[in-house]
Amino acid sequence: MIDEQKPSVAHGDGIESYLVEPGSSLAGEITVPGDKSISHRSLMFGAIADGITEIDGLLASEDCLATAAALTAMGAKIEAPETPGDCWRVHGVGLRGLKRPPGDLDLGNSGTSMRLLTGLLCAQGFSSTLVGDSSLMTRPMERVAVPLRQMGARIKTSDGRPPVMIERSQGLVGIDYQAPVASAQIKSAILLAGLYAKGVTRVTEPGVSRDHTERMLASFGVTVVRKGMSVEIEAPGALKAHRIAVPGDLSSAAFFIVGACLTSDKGVTLRSVGVNPTRTGVIEILRKMGAKIDVATAPTAKGGEPVADIRIAKSRLKGINIDASDVALAIDEFPVLMVAAACAEGVTRVSGAEELRVKESDRIRTVVDGLMALGAKVEEKPDGMIVTGGPLNGGEVDSHGDHRIAMAFTIAALMAGGPVRILNTRNVATSFPGFAEHGARLGMTINKETIS
């Protein structure tokens, strides 16, 4: 349960934290909020479509609201639902209808917003500048800017980092881009620019990345051609507005999947979760570790995304080897997977995970530091870590303002020998507003605090 006697999390000078009591056995069923990646894209594509796009289940997190605010600043009308459960409505302005914003576009903590909007805005007939919070302003942006410049975009960064300054487009041309890494954000930025480019725009990746952009473009009437590890489009005459159903976010569900594997005697059911095959790496990794996870698929949601109810039972987990191909399909779930590893029998070795060092925090370092703070045996490697399963202690973990680190160690606290305080939890709202309340419904005891 949530201790209502504790001070509520507030945006003040204090450190916002969770104090989590150990020993809860998760049980019951919940519906997690909508998928963040799909929510961002539904807003962007709806804004440049012809007509009104209705969105059911959109995630109203800080990150997605930053995308909505940026699009509104450029002339798109976005209506939030007046009644909970109703749909969002995006009044599209058409492919060429966006207008120059009155000032810099502040995208908060959202790397997805910044990278995808860079692809969209580099094709417009006006200049724009993208900025964010202190964390986002340190994140690499040249990985997106380089291929867009090859298309003719005029983009400047500050030593490879924000602000991202985009000059008025003089016209883009399609490219055949061989991506050095598999990245849905890089691919999506190029495809968004490709909506305005002359000729074919093709992206080939060395491995599988999330395909939400391809699926959604097709649902808006764009011809998308997939050949092996390549995807290509040509500029359409228009995008056609339609109704989209955003499934529950598997990355958010992953915290409670791991929590249920570790503690649930009665079982946990998560309803209507998106199970896009480019996202289910977390389930496959946990199954390799011995997790008892049943995925009951349902009809495909509007927008082309597969959906399922996920049922989880308490499981005896064992350590495994996780390599680069596994990491690529579970990149956002890595922190909570390492919590599972710390509670498993034996040793888990992770390699090929360098990308985790340039997320909202250096997630290799912050996970290692957090596990060590709770007494786990863990060794940091340049591209991963080695985790030896064993008992966890109570203690204090600094999330460094990283929402997924904060939520992962909230789950770790279930298995600790004493209470665990997780510092800097305000940014949980960037991806999972209501996380603590959802945990409480499954039986967790999470006390919200503001520490002076």
Give the CATH number of the domain where residue 45 resides.
3.65.10.10
Whether residue 4 lies inside any domain: the answer is no
| Threshold 0.85, pTM exceeds | yes
Reduced 3-state DSSP string for 21-67? CCCCCCCEEECCCECHHHHHHHHHHHHCCECEEEEECCCCCHHHHHH
Q: Which of 147, 150, 153 is nearest to 165 (CA)?
A: 153
Helices 142-150 and 111-121 cross at an angle (nearest 10°) of 10
- How much is the pLDDT for 85? 79
CA-CA distance, 436 to 447, in Å (whole number)?
A: 9
224 and 325 both lie in a single domain: no
Q: Are residues 329 and 417 located together in one domain of the fold?
A: yes
Of the residues 199, 225, 244, the one at which a domain ends: 244
> Is the pLDDT confidence value at 26 over 60?
yes
- Overall size of the chain counted in residues: 452
- Active site residue: 63, 332, 398, 402, which one? 332
State percent of the chain over pLDDT 90: 90
Q: In what order do the strands lie in the sheet with 377-381?
A: 321-322, 347-350, 384-388, 377-381
* Domain limit, last residue, from 244, 271, 302: 244
In sequence order, what are the residues at sequence separation of 6 or more whose Cβ sits closer than 8 angstroms to the Cβ of residue 393?
A: 374, 375, 416, 417, 418
Please tell me whether residues 159 and 140 are part of one structural domain. Answer: yes
- Among 132, 186, 139, 183, smallest CA distance to 161 is for 139
Q: Tell me, yes or no, whether 59 lies in a domain.
A: yes
DSSP of 87-143: PEEEE---TT-----SS-EE-TT-HHHHHHHHHHHTTSSS-EEEE--TTGGGS--HH
- Looking at the structure, tell me whether residues 342 and 422 fall in a common domain: yes
Same domain, 257 and 198: no
Give which of 341, 364, 369 is closest to 354, Cα–Cα. Answer: 364
In a domain, 175, yes or no: yes
Q: Poorest-confidence range of 40-54, 292-306, 365-379? A: 292-306
In a domain, residue 388? The reply is: yes
Q: Is residue 7 part of a domain?
A: no
Whether residue 315 sits in one domain with residue 235: no
Residue 5 within any structural domain of the chain = no
> How far apart (Å, rounded) are the C-alpha atoms in residues 210 and 277?
8
Q: Same domain, yes or no, for 252 and 238?
A: no
Quick check: is 211 catalytic?
Answer: no
Instruction: Return the pLDDT at 276.
Output: 95
Residue 6 binned pLDDT confidence (cut-offs 50, 70, 90): very low
Residue 118 pLDDT grade (very low, low, confident, very high; cuts 50, 70, 90): very high
Measured from the Cβ of residue 358, the count of other Cβ atoms closer than 10 Å reads 14
Which among 210, 244, 278 is the end of a domain? 244
pLDDT at 12 over 70: no
pLDDT digits (tens, 9 = 90+) for 398-432: 999 999 999 999 999 999 999 999 999 999 999 99
Give the per-residue pLDDT at 19.
97
Pair of tokens at residue 26: 């998760």
Q: In this predicted model, which residue has the larger pLDDT, 324 or 452?
A: 324
Which residues constitute the domain of residue 116? 36-244
> How big, in percent rounded to 5, are the helix, strand and coil portions of the chain?
30, 25, 40
Whether residue 8 is contained in a domain is answered as no
pLDDT at 13: 54
Q: Are residues 91 and 26 in the same domain?
A: no
- Closest C-alpha among 179, 111, 228, 181 to residue 352: 181
Same domain for 136 and 68: yes
pLDDT computed for residue 301 by the predictor: 72
Q: Are residues 353 and 278 in the same domain?
A: yes
Q: Are residues 281 and 418 in the same domain?
A: yes
In a domain, residue 2? The reply is no
pLDDT by residue (tens digit) across 169-201? Answer: 999 999 999 999 999 999 999 999 999 999 999
As a whole number, the mean pLDDT across the chain is 94
Contact criterion met (CB below 8 Å) for 145 and 158: no
The single residue listed with the structure tokens 């030896």 is 388
Question: Can you tell me the mean pLDDT for 372-388?
Answer: 98
On the question of pLDDT at 166 being above 70, the answer is: yes
Whether residue 186 is found in the same domain as residue 277: no
Number of domains comprising the chain: 2
